[in-house]
Structure 1
Amino acid sequence: MAGFDPQFVMAAFDPQFLWNGLVVGSIIAVAALGLTLIFGILNFINIAYGDYMAVGAYFAFAANTQYDLPIVVAALIGMVVMAVGALVVDKLVFERFRSRSAIVLLVVSIGVAFVLRNLIRIVWGTGSRRFSGPIEAAPQFFGIRVLPDQVAIVVISVAILGGTYLLLRRTRIGIAMRAASDDTDLARIRGIDTERLVTYVWLVGGAIAGIAGILLGLDAQIRPNMGFTALIPIFAAVILGGIGDPIGAVAGGYAIGITQELSVVVIPTEYKPAIGLLLLIIGLLSKPEGIFGEATR
């Protein structure tokens, strides 16, 4: 690249970028995990997933600011509301089109996304919101400013990712999810109740979407289109990791989050969101089977 100066890059590098990337990557990893779980069982790309994140964030915001509930309790409410909400949307909308092609479900999910986004605007308005809480100074460790909210995001993300891993590996429901993700017809033949499994998937995927939206709101601001604007890095993480591979999606999420934040060393900040799309294209061209070799379907 003409004019590329490695010494300038090293001089411009700030370890703060790496910490910020870890925080952003934690959010993307959680969101990508929920999305890939839904795709693995239902085999369709749910464009409304980003708006599920926004709904979870707004319900947590309402519980936190309008009813003065602690943020932890508010977050649990947002998760539960979105878990139930995702299941209700499936029963009212997606279930009626499940026998149709994935393209039909994709188009339907776009309609669901528009409806949810506009309902948010009607109820809460179009302005930006923030969770209530004390404004705390950011202590520095080795020259890195670490906000308490950022620490909470990383810790909660690790807890969610670890809990989901145990769910998939150590419980009957999780093992059934993995079996159905590999081959739904074979899982049905072997006696797995796939319809009940769909219910579990929407509950788990909706809850993860809700907490991902809440984490995103903690890191930035709560806006009606917050989930929609986050879709590109989330989809990039899912595809980079191999669609249907939860571990790959998590690895892809951290890779994209860290790369996005480190990119400001060499490109203007306003181009940072394009990094997810760039990594998506590079991943599809160089390793379409995903980071760990899972086939992208």
Structure 2
Amino acid sequence: MVGFDPQFVWFGLVTGSLIALGALGLTLIFGILDFINIAYGEYMALGAFIAFGLNTEVGLPVVVSGAIAVVAMGPIAIALDKAVFQHFRNRSAIVLLVVSIGVSFVLRNVIRVVWGSGSKRFDVPIEEAPTYFGIQILADQVAIVVLSLLVLGLTFGLLRKTDIGVAMRAASDDTDLARIRGVDTERLVLYVWLVGGFIAAIAGVMLGLDSQLRPTMGFLTLIPIFAAVILGGIGDPVGAVVGGYAIGLLQEMSVVVIPAEYKPLVGLALLVVGLLTRPDGLFGEATR
């Protein structure tokens, strides 16, 4: 245990940005397809490792390699749906959940085969963190927070200001009614995987910049992401983002009262507390 330090708030904001992005992508997929995709963590990891390969093996700048990885993960997410999930879409959510566990296992081991099991780092300069008002702030951390806010803003703009976004929201509320009203739900499935894949890659690359790249990096991030999704109300994008930032802040500031090695348990604890006290989510959206 340590005394309170404003540095923890900054760390919490950075961690919350990563969790919020992952939670947004996961809840968007749930809203249309009505299942929790356990493999979403591996989508994040795969996006990060594609960027890592382009950065360290091809020699591209991390910004360029990250952008290519983001563009690539959208079609990869669609391809995985066509190859796997589409064939089980009419089955129960439990079946899809089990299938996603299998996809998660396969993707994690593909990463191990291609890039190995050890820890990796992007080829970026090691910088000394300047101090502002007693808080050490790295340029990478600023980029994570700013890019996260930009992606969140663009995604909410898509959902609220475009025909595709309105159709997504309608299908999320009631897929059958949306289909009756003429919404092409099969095309919406493609759009949601595309957007979900983009967001997963962005979150994965930023996660790799913030720490290290490991084949298990996405899987280990799933608990706080799930906690954010459930705390915010499954299928509610706003709730998922708010839940993500809340968990990030509480997780980093928890070291004031508990040893740092127990930080990951904070997400699990909040998941349980949220289910017991706010089963309909922070804003009353039904957790289906």
1:98 and 1:129 mapped to 2: Cα distance? 36
- Whether 1:155 and 2:125 are equivalent positions in the alignment is no
Where does residue 110 of structure 1 map in the other structure?
101
State the Cα deviation string for residues 187-234 of structure 1 (Å, max 9, x = none).
000000000000000000011011111111011100000000000000
In the alignment, residue 160 of structure 1 is paired with which amino acid? V
Give the deviation of 1:136 after TM superposition.
Answer: 1.2
Where does residue 65 of structure 2 map in the other structure?
74
Q: 1:126 aligns with which of 117, 122, 127?
A: 117
Where does residue 48 of structure 2 map in the other structure?
57
Q: Secondary structure at the match of 1:66?
A: helix
- Whether 1:205 and 2:182 are equivalent positions in the alignment is no
Where does residue 25 of structure 2 map in the other structure?
34
Q: Which runs of 4+ in 1 moved over 3 A?
A: none
Give the deviation of 1:70 after TM superposition.
Answer: 1.6
In structure 1, stretches of 5+ residues that fail to align are: 1-8
1:256 and 1:131 mapped to 2: Cα distance? 26
Where does residue 185 of structure 2 map in the other structure?
194
2:150 and 2:58 mapped to 1: Cα distance? 26
Structure 1 residues 83-94: aligned runs within 5 Å: 83-94=74-85
1:263 and 1:228 mapped to 2: Cα distance? 22
State the Cα deviation string for residues 227-275 of structure 1 (Å, max 9, x = none).
0000000000000000000000000000000000000001001110000
Give the deviation of 1:71 after TM superposition.
Answer: 1.4
Where does residue 216 of structure 1 map in the other structure?
207
Where does residue 166 of structure 1 map in the other structure?
157
Q: CA RMSD in A?
A: 0.9
In the alignment, residue 37 of structure 1 is paired with which amino acid? L
- Whether 1:267 and 2:258 are equivalent positions in the alignment is yes
Give the deviation of 1:282 after TM superposition.
Answer: 0.7
2:132 and 2:286 mapped to 1: Cα distance? 41
In the alignment, residue 263 of structure 2 is paired with which amino acid? K
Identity %: 70
1:135 and 1:23 mapped to 2: Cα distance? 18
In the alignment, residue 214 of structure 1 is paired with which amino acid? V
Q: 1:24 aligns with which of 15, 23, 36?
A: 15
Give the deviation of 1:134 after TM superposition.
Answer: 1.2
Where does residue 97 of structure 1 map in the other structure?
88
- Structure 1 length normalisation: TM-score? 0.96
In the alignment, residue 140 of structure 1 is paired with which amino acid? T
- Whether 1:225 and 2:236 are equivalent positions in the alignment is no
State the Cα deviation string for residues 144-178 of structure 1 (Å, max 9, x = none).
00011100100110010000010000011111000
Give the deviation of 1:74 after TM superposition.
Answer: 0.9
State the number of aligned residues. Answer: 288
- Structure 2 length normalisation: TM-score? 0.99
- Whether 1:145 and 2:136 are equivalent positions in the alignment is yes
2:17 and 2:140 mapped to 1: Cα distance? 13
1:115 and 1:28 mapped to 2: Cα distance? 23
2:161 and 2:54 mapped to 1: Cα distance? 33
In the alignment, residue 81 of structure 2 is paired with which amino acid? D
